[in-house]
């Protein structure tokens, strides 16, 4: 298998590395944050804006796109890239996370501090078997079946550059037995089925060009070191083009970092590592220090819609509430370090006003800023790894030495 | 008074003319449509987008900006241009239209097919005297007084390039007596007071540079020819920098065109003429043919938010409902004639989907298209006047010969 992932530089003190992921729609320089375009749009932003603010790759959600407008419609319109006018790399997830959130949503949301996405869902909307997951559409109540093969087939039709294996997501509070059984009897078997199905369409990758679609496996095992190691070693031995860290990442940031620490050493160095669904400022830095290459999260646009701007201020947990009355006459940009369009041209006072007046442009400006903020962060983090100054970068942002 | 308005070309068959309005923030080529930035933002669009789509001048609403965030705050932030990051010309209205809509809103909305903007307003929120209008804020119920002098003072602080006189808006169904009395005993006196107050700040305009702020008068007289003529002649004899046609424009488009026809001949040729609040496709063309230079309307962004796109299709009344199921797989752009960003990159199918999924980006794309559509229309209309082919333009769009 040719190297779709190339390491450009490694930090000598940590596991941080700068690399390049090659895809059919261009290369991605890592570490990278990928903005999430859940439904075929990075909410409120144009593709040009994302690109102009260092955006290299975006993530689309198979579950949502499957239900509306449907993967077949998107395929008929020329695939997701053409449909949404994004000609750079796209990664789609498998739909698993959303489908299992229908069952375990309340718990996952509680842990992650999120509100449920679908008001009144009931566990009986979903039925899980060894074959896959039967679920009802939140749009019209119709019944749908996701199996590993079906998820890959849908992702083939959407046409993303990187697609993910269909996995089972145990509830967060699942203990060792449940997590181990889920991993052994479901997720690992399902990932093998995804790989087999994928290889029927794309023969093993050879030659200098990246594959039309790359398939990433997902390492599971919850918070349990032996399970994480087993999963990482097994999936690392299979011909996946890259690997994600998925499943339960623990209840706290500290536990998440432990999970990464217990997993990364058993993942192959020569493949990209994607930590699924993580995008807080400190998590991007801590994750990179621990050997993660790719991150994604809806948080920058979600925070933007709710009037929270990311700022380079550790004391404030990197967040500024733009509806705070203290900003009423504040002539400063959202963040002095940021170089985004919003921070170049608009004051906190104006943005505060837009949110008070419930003007859509406020959502747009803060969403753009938040996405740009994380992209500048990962870009500068990469540069520091190449320059050999990553631990300085780490200390400057987090206020403590690495290690 | 030096010519702030210069005529570049006149159509020999109609009253259409191409001109240039000079302002402190640059020149405006007429005829022009001006997008409305009610609250210091052209809803959902960036200034750069408006500019890139032939936008030359935008309109801000004094009433809204006065209530939130307040004209004094905007002045402290450097004025409206700087606050909202638009360095081109701005026109502000006087606040009169919105204040009187608090009283007569239901009628005006009924006539113009609009929904009331403020749900449960009551006539007792407003009290009109010869001095001005006492009204309550829809935000917090606080009491405010707009007089002619106060309106101009607020507009001075907002800092727009073109400001408007404060006038009384009689209810649409007002008869001759009411309309005449309103015009004689209120509006004309108020406009003189506006002019006097304005001249205390800005001495009569001389020299080659346009004034820091230009003041336009507003011709009234409802649907009554003798009143319109009297108002046009009186205001035309006063040193206003330009003139608007305001007040009641009738119940139908035909009546509106009659009002323009009975007014324009008595307005001075050497000053710009602005038909207030008008922006339908046919109205822009019919108005231009009748000697109007400037138009404004919230319709392109309002229609955009509700999923209606402007299209070059007279049979459909220039409108396309993007939520129509027929667009589900339509690969065409919103409009084949349009050259806007939306039409260059996105299919009707994608936009239809965005509205179904309630994605903000759909509102943005259709709002941008609608604004761009009207700006391309006025731009091509101007070119046709200069080229001597305006009547061909008129016939091509409206399907009938002029006159």
Domain co-membership, A259 together with A321: no
Helix axes A148-158, A188-201, angle to 10 degrees: 40
pLDDT tens, position by position, A169-205: 987 788 999 999 999 999 999 999 999 999 999 987 6
All residues of chain A having their beta carbon less than 8 Å from the beta carbon of residue B76 are: 329
Do residues A255 and A238 lie in contact, with contact meaning Cβ atoms separated by under 8 Å? no
Residue A354 lies in a domain: yes
Q: Report the candidate in B106, B210, B90, B217 with the shortest Cα–Cα distance to residue B155.
A: B90
pLDDT tens, position by position, A385-402: 999 999 999 999 999 999
Mean pLDDT confidence for B185-191: 98
Q: How far apart are CA B7 and CA A200, in angstroms?
A: 71
Least confident stretch, A110-119, A375-384, B383-392: A110-119
Q: How far apart are CA B251 and CA B249, in angstroms?
A: 7
CATH number at residue A157: 3.20.20.105
Q: Could you report the predicted ipTM of this complex, rounded to two decimals?
A: 0.95
Domain co-membership, A75 together with A197: yes
Q: What sign for the dihedral angle of Cα A261, A266, A270, A273?
A: negative
Q: How far apart are CA A84 and CA A86, in angstroms?
A: 6
Domain co-membership, B87 together with B156: yes
Residue A256 lies in a domain: yes
| Longest CA span, chain A | 61
Whether B293 sits among the annotated catalytic residues: the reply is: no
Where among B235, B269, B297 does a domain terminate? B297
pLDDT of B14 higher than 90? yes
Residue A51 lies in a domain: no
Domain co-membership, A291 together with A335: no
Residue A318 lies in a domain: yes
Using a pLDDT cut of 70, give the percent of chain B over it.
Answer: 94
Residue reference for tokens 């009290």: B127
Query: Is there a contact between B353 and A69 if contact means CB atoms under 8 Å apart?
Result: yes
Domain co-membership, B230 together with B365: no
Q: What is the CA radius of gyration of chain B?
A: 20
Residue B147 lies in a domain: yes
All residues of chain A having their beta carbon less than 8 Å from the beta carbon of residue B46 are: 341, 361, 364
Where among A297, A323, A347 does a domain terminate? A297
Domain co-membership, A21 together with A102: yes
Instruction: Pick the residue of B353, B356, B369 with the most A CBs within 10 A to test the interface with A by mutation.
Output: B353
Q: Domain containing B126: what range?
A: 5-297
Domain co-membership, B173 together with B318: no
Least confident stretch, B57-71, B105-119, B124-138, B220-234: B105-119
Q: Please, what is the end-to-end C-alpha distance for chain A in angstroms?
A: 34
Instruction: Find the residue in B nearest to A301 (Cα).
Output: B360
Do residues A125 and A108 lie in contact, with contact meaning Cβ atoms separated by under 8 Å? no
Instruction: Find the residue in A nearest to B79 (Cα).
Output: A350
Residue B182 lies in a domain: yes
All residues of chain B having their beta carbon less than 8 Å from the beta carbon of residue A345 are: 85
pLDDT score at B187 = 98
Q: How far apart are CA A351 and CA A359, in angstroms?
A: 9
pLDDT tens, position by position, A247-296: 999 999 999 999 999 999 999 999 999 999 999 999 999 999 999 999 99
Residue B403 lies in a domain: no
Domain co-membership, A188 together with A322: no
Domain co-membership, A150 together with A202: yes
Domain co-membership, B219 together with B363: no
H or E element that contains B39: none
pLDDT tens, position by position, B92-140: 999 999 998 877 664 445 445 444 444 445 556 789 999 999 999 988 9
Q: Min CA distance, A65 vs chain B (Å)?
A: 10
Mean pLDDT confidence for B286-309: 98
Q: How far apart are CA A187 and CA A195, in angstroms?
A: 12
pLDDT score at A115 = 46
Split into its structural domains, chain B has a count of 2
H or E element that contains B296: strand B294-297
Q: Please, what is the end-to-end C-alpha distance for chain B in angstroms?
A: 34
Query: Is there a contact between A359 and B43 if contact means CB atoms under 8 Å apart?
Result: yes
Residue A246 lies in a domain: yes
Domain co-membership, B211 together with B350: no
Do residues A151 and A166 lie in contact, with contact meaning Cβ atoms separated by under 8 Å? yes
Residue reference for tokens 């060894």: A130
Q: Where are the alpha helices (DSSP H) in B241-298?
A: 253-263, 281-289
Q: What sign for the dihedral angle of Cα A35, A39, A43, A47?
A: positive
pLDDT score at A124 = 66
Domain co-membership, A113 together with A228: yes
A122: cis peptide before it, omega within 30°? no
């Amino acid at each position: 298998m040719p190297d779709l992932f190339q390491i450009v530089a490694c930090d000598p003190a940590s596991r941080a590395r700068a690399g390049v992921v090659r895809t059919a729609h261009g290369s991605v320089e890592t570490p990278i944050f990928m903005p999430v375009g859940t439904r075929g749009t990075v909410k409120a932003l144009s593709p040009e804006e994302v690109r102009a603010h260092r955006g290299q790759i975006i993530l689309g959600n198979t579950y949502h796109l499957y239900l509306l407008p449907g993967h077949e419609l998107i395929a008929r319109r020329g695939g997701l890239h053409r449909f949404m006018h994004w000609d750079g790399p796209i990664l789609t997830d498998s739909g698993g996370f959303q489908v299992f959130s229908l069952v375990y949503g309340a718990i996952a949301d509680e842990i992650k501090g999120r509100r449920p996405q679908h008001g009144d869902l009931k566990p009986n909307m979903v039925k899980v078997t060894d074959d896959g997951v039967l679920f009802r559409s939140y749009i019209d109540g119709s019944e749908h079946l996701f199996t590993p093969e079906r998820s890959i087939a849908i992702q083939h039709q959407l046409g993303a550059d990187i697609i993910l294996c269909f996995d089972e997501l145990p509830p967060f509070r699942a203990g060792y037995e449940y997590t181990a059984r889920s991993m052994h009897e479901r997720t690992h078997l399902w990932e093998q089925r995804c790989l087999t199905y994928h290889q029927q369409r794309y023969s093993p990758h050879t030659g200098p060009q990246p594959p039309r679609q790359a398939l990433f496996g997902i390492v599971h095992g919850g918070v349990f070191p032996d399970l994480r190691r087993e999963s990482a070693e097994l999936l690392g031995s299979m011909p996946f083009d890259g690997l994600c860290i998925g499943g339960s990442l623990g209840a706290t940031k500290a536990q998440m970092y432990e999970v990464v620490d217990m997993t990364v050493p058993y993942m192959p160095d020569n493949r990209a590592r994607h930590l699924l669904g993580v995008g807080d400022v400190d998590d991007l830095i801590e994750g990179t220090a621990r050997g993660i290459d790719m991150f994604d999260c809806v948080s920058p646009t979600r925070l933007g819609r709710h009037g929270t701007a990311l700022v380079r201020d550790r004391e404030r947990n990197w967040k500024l509430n733009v509806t705070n009355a203290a900003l009423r006459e504040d002539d400063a940009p959202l963040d002095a370090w940021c170089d985004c369009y919003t921070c170049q041209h608009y004051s906190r006072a104006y943005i505060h006003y837009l949110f008070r007046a419930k003007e859509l442009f406020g959502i747009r400006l803060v969403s753009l800023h938040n996405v740009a903020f994380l992209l500048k962060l990962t870009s500068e983090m990469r540069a520091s790894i190449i320059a050999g100054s990553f631990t300085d970068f780490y200390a400057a942002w987090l206020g403590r030495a690495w290690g």
